[in-house]
């Protein structure tokens, strides 16, 4: 398994109504996490965990009959004030921003997944909100432990 962990890092780029700006996430820029603002739908999502003990692991099979879900490019509905992260909306993760002093701070992360055909996850919720400490676990392979 070659997992990549995405997190909201300090200096995450976001697209506010007034243009691109950076927002402060809880993880330092030099950490081993990948900036969540760079996450696109080209990766497969194993699961996630956040600082409020919300966690989910998505179902897949090594036999290839059920693959891992991907991040949806356009969520069905967005929380009020949510802005896309990344450059020019390249990321499929949204954040609700708040102000701490004069700086933008990520208060909540929001995303939607598209389960693979035949997955039991198709009957589960597909839209998730995480606190700013949320970590998304991804892999470029489509199968569990591939």
DSSP string computed for 88-141: GG-SS-EEEEEEETTEEEEEEEEEEEEPPTT-GGGGS--EEEE-TT-EEEEESS
| Residue-wise pLDDT tens digits, 77-127 | 788 888 888 876 667 889 988 876 667 889 899 998 988 888 888 888 888
> Mean per-residue pLDDT for 30-58?
87
Q: What is the per-residue pLDDT for 109?
A: 93
| Residue-wise pLDDT tens digits, 130-145 | 999 999 998 877 665 5
Its pTM stands at 0.84
- In 3-state terms, what secondary structure has residue 59? coil
Domain boundaries, the chain: 4-139
Q: What is the per-residue pLDDT for 128?
A: 92
Percent of the chain whose predicted confidence (pLDDT) is above 70 = 88
């Amino acid at each position: 398994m070659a997992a990549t962990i995405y997190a909201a890092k300090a200096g995450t780029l976001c697209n506010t109504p007034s243009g691109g700006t950076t927002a402060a996430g809880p993880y330092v820029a030099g950490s081993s996490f990948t900036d969540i603002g760079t996450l696109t739908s080209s990766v497969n999502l194993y699961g996630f965990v956040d600082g409020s003990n919300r966690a989910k692991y998505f179902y897949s099979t090594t036999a290839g009959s059920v693959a891992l879900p991907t991040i949806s490019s356009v969520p069905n509905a967005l929380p009020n004030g949510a802005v896309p992260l990344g450059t020019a909306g390249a990321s499929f993760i949204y954040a609700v921003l708040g102000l701490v002093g004069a700086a933008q701070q990520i208060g909540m992360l929001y995303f939607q997944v598209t389960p693979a055909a035949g997955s039991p996850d198709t009957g589960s919720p597909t839209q998730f909100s995480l606190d700013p400490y949320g970590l998304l676990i991804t892999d470029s392979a489509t199968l569990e432990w591939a």
